[in-house]
Amino acid sequence: MNTLRILVLFTLGVVAGHSFAADIEAGKKIGGGICSNCHGANGISASDPFPNLAGQKPGYLKNALKAYKEGTRKAEIMNNMAAGLSEQDMENVAAYFSGLKPAH
């Protein structure tokens, strides 16, 4: 019985960990696409109104996207952009931008 319990817990842990693991390439498809129009091709914006995303902490980026999606953080463009993102999309985008070299 203990062996079965350990196996079940291990399996659940692996599945849970895998389902939320960030996919940087998937994040790049989103972040390097539509996000780059305002935030720059490498996450470094060329325009003051748009913040740099390169090198930001992944938790900060994911929380910001989630707040935009939920409407608790207001910016019409970002609210619309985040509306179509899934939890996994947000995780992926956050991983992508956090891995980029920040501006000096």
pLDDT higher than 50, residue 59: yes
Name the CA radius of gyration of the chain, rounded.
17
Query: Tens digits of per-residue pLDDT, 70-101?
Result: 999 999 999 999 999 999 999 999 999 999 99
Q: For domain 23-98, give the fold.
A: Cytochrome Bc1 Complex; Chain D, domain 2 (1.10.760)
Domain ranges of the chain: 23-98
Cα 28 to Cα 2, 5, 24, 50: the distances in Å are 43, 39, 6, 18
Position 11 confidence tier, pLDDT thresholds 50, 70, 90: low
Position 28 confidence tier, pLDDT thresholds 50, 70, 90: very high
Q: How far is CA 54 from the centre of its chain?
A: 12
